[in-house]
Chains A and B, each alone.
Chain A
């Protein structure tokens, strides 16, 4: 089991550019979560999917953020246009029922 796979590991982009973060959950897991982690705000849940359907996107900061899960093995988080305040580590996690989450290694995003 390769775990939750995120790409890229690091992304540096200029303000105003589009950024796409990718996630492959663990096979068989039916829930997928996108988190953002910063020193100031800790771990924030942005959105989660259950059986590929978005259930709660109340944590998405604003319309510049969007997430999709076209199938059970792939999800994307897109920021367009990116801003310096979006700089953070973005984690994807997956789970099955009441088990705890399995996190990916994260994408460190820097917007300059």
Chain B
């Protein structure tokens, strides 16, 4: 089945730095979704992207739907301690309709105050 390769697996950054993470697939996706999971909680949807090339922001977060429809990236600007968590990319593969979402393996972000 489809797999999403997410990188990096983990990262340590200094508070105030910008962060970039990405997600790639071998097949085309119809939507891209970015989630954040805090410890002890379920993942929470941050940004949803529906069109190739789409660039969407949510506060300090910006995500883009790649032109090839096989990748997406998430940027966090001016990181703060509460950005700590695991970030998952996810999406609806073109072949799977809109019911079943494929998840990436996650990027664990640590912010050093």
Interface residues of A (CB under 8 A from B): 4, 31, 33, 42-43, 45, 48, 50, 55-56, 91, 93, 95, 97-106
Size category of the binding interface on chain B: 20 to 34
Q: Which one of B10-18, B39-47, B71-79 is at the A interface?
A: B39-47
A104 touches B42 (CB 8 A): yes
Residues of A within 8 A of B105 (CB): 42
- Inter-chain CA distance A106–B39, complex, in Å, is 11
Tell me the smallest distance from the CB of A79 to a CB of chain B, in Å.
19
Give the residue of A4, A42, A100, A106 whose beta carbon is less than 8 angstroms from that of B101: A100
User: Which residues of B approach A to under 8 Å, CB–CB?
Assistant: 30-31, 33, 35, 40-45, 48, 50, 88, 90, 92, 98-101, 103, 105-106
Q: Are B45 and A102 in contact (CB under 8 A)?
A: yes
Contacts of B101 in A (CB 8 A): 33, 95, 100-101
> Do A100 and B99 touch across chains, with their CB atoms under 8 A apart?
no
